[in-house]
Structure 1
């Protein structure tokens, strides 16, 4: 198992290096001079060639590209993403608290999604073709088809405004999590539970289920074996749920005024605050690589055959 983990790390590190390089060149994709972008973000009324030259020298932009990249990469390893173009504050002092706020919302939502997906997937698989299976699938199709911002607005109007039960925005208490988590769970559980159901149905038709029943094994024990084998497929999907939710909370955070990465990234994009945008992209990409590696390791721990496939 240790060799498998080392091999996965050996694949992930070069991938992260490529991602960091692509992230760094983001600033060079702008048609404007990077120094000019800095001055515009700072609200300088009149930008002259002299100011641009001074800004380049102050920020090290006059250095060769490859030197600037490696300086930036070494700084990022130490969680130093530079300073914000707009506020002048260190990027980590802005993105760190926002990341923690988004991570809290993501983890709570992920737990709710995983539990609900497994529960609904098992029920639908065991009751295949029956009324409860058709009802759950039909209702999930209806809910996942709704735009998340529209459903969020409806819940805010009904639960928060009409009934005055939950806060409409912010993250002041545990009650602030309820509406955002409900919206995120509805958006993703309706998709993921179908994967669990499909995997369960595939395993129900395997020979070991027939042999187990022929040997007189209890149905509960057979169902546990089916669920265990089915989750090997689902783990890869659930493993990617965390980074996917982490990167897709932009709409929800803006609707509920959640002080997270989504809200911060929108403000950074509108003000062309490239250091924050670069840090945001790099963190999300690293999260995708990390959780993909974790899901592979968990699958390999559950199924030793997978260790020889790498």
Structure 2
């Protein structure tokens, strides 16, 4: 298992390098000159070519592309993403707290999604084709079809405005998590529980289930074996759900004024704050690679046959 983990981590290195290069290239393809953005943020009334050239030298933008990329990559390895073009603050000072706030919301939501998905998936698989199964799938289809911002507005109106039970914004206490987590859970659990259900139904028709019943094993024990084998497929989905949620909290964070990456990224995009945008894209891309590797390692730990397939 140790060699498998080492090989899997080594495979991630060239992918992470490619991601960093693409991130740097895409940001540099912007038609807006970063020097102009900085001068506009400083409120310079008249932007001349001389000012632009001087600002480019100060930012190191006059250096060759490869030199700028290598310097940026080495700085990123030390969690130094430069300074914001708008505020002048360190990008990490801006994005660090926002990342932690989004990560808290993501992890709580992921736990909720996994619990609801597994519970509904198992229930629907055990009641396949019956009223419960059809009702849950129909309700899940309806709820996931509703845009998250519409569902968020509806829940805020009912629970916060009409009943005055939950806060409408911020992250002051555990009560602030309830509505955002509920919105994210409804949006994703309605999709993921279908994978658990499908995997459960597939395993129910395997030979080991027939042999177990023929041997007189209790139905509870057989169900646990089915669930364990079914979760090997679902683990990859659940692991990848974390970076997906991490990158898709923009709507929820803006509706509930959550001080996270989503809110910060919107402000950075609107103000063309390139260093913040670069850091945001890089962090999300790296999180996808990391959680994909984690899912592979968990699956390999559960199924030794996969360790020789790398």
* TM-score tier after normalising by the smaller chain length: over 0.9
8 Å contact kept, 1:27–1:34: no
| Structure 1 residue aligned with 2:117 | 117
8 Å contact kept, 2:34–2:274: no
Measured in 2, the distance between the counterparts of 1:122 and 1:309 equals 29
Measured in 2, the distance between the counterparts of 1:273 and 1:202 equals 49
Measured in 2, the distance between the counterparts of 1:109 and 1:42 equals 40
SS of the equivalent of 2:19 reads helix
| Structure 2 residue aligned with 1:31 | 31
Is it true that 1:97 corresponds to 2:93 in the alignment?
no
For the aligned residues, what is the CA RMSD? Answer: 0.8
| Structure 1 residue aligned with 2:209 | 209
Per-residue CA deviations over 1:3-54 (Å, capped at 9, x if unaligned) read 1111111111110100001111233211233322332343322111111111
| Structure 1 residue aligned with 2:19 | 19
| Structure 2 residue aligned with 1:184 | 184
| Structure 2 residue aligned with 1:265 | 265
Per-residue CA deviations over 1:239-284 (Å, capped at 9, x if unaligned) read 0010000000000000000000000000000000000000000000
Gaps of 5+ in 2: none
How do residues 272-287 of structure 1 correspond to structure 2 at under 5 angstroms?
272-287=272-287
Kindly tell me the number of residue pairs found equivalent between the two proteins: 310
SS of the equivalent of 2:85 reads coil
SS of the equivalent of 1:79 reads coil
How do residues 58-77 of structure 1 correspond to structure 2 at under 5 angstroms?
58-77=58-77
Per-residue CA deviations over 1:96-139 (Å, capped at 9, x if unaligned) read 00000000000000000000000000000001011001111110
TM-score when normalising by structure 1: 0.99
| Structure 2 residue aligned with 1:9 | 9
| Structure 1 residue aligned with 2:108 | 108
Per-residue CA deviations over 1:167-205 (Å, capped at 9, x if unaligned) read 000001000000000000000000000000000000000
Measured in 1, the distance between the counterparts of 2:55 and 2:24 equals 19
8 Å contact kept, 1:28–1:34: no
Measured in 2, the distance between the counterparts of 1:218 and 1:165 equals 45
Per-residue CA deviations over 1:217-258 (Å, capped at 9, x if unaligned) read 110110010000000000000000100000000000000000
Per-residue CA deviations over 1:60-99 (Å, capped at 9, x if unaligned) read 1111110110100000000000000000000000000000
8 Å contact kept, 1:42–1:85: no
| Structure 2 residue aligned with 1:44 | 44
Measured in 1, the distance between the counterparts of 2:80 and 2:105 equals 25
Measured in 2, the distance between the counterparts of 1:32 and 1:128 equals 56
SS of the equivalent of 1:86 reads coil
Measured in 2, the distance between the counterparts of 1:302 and 1:27 equals 40
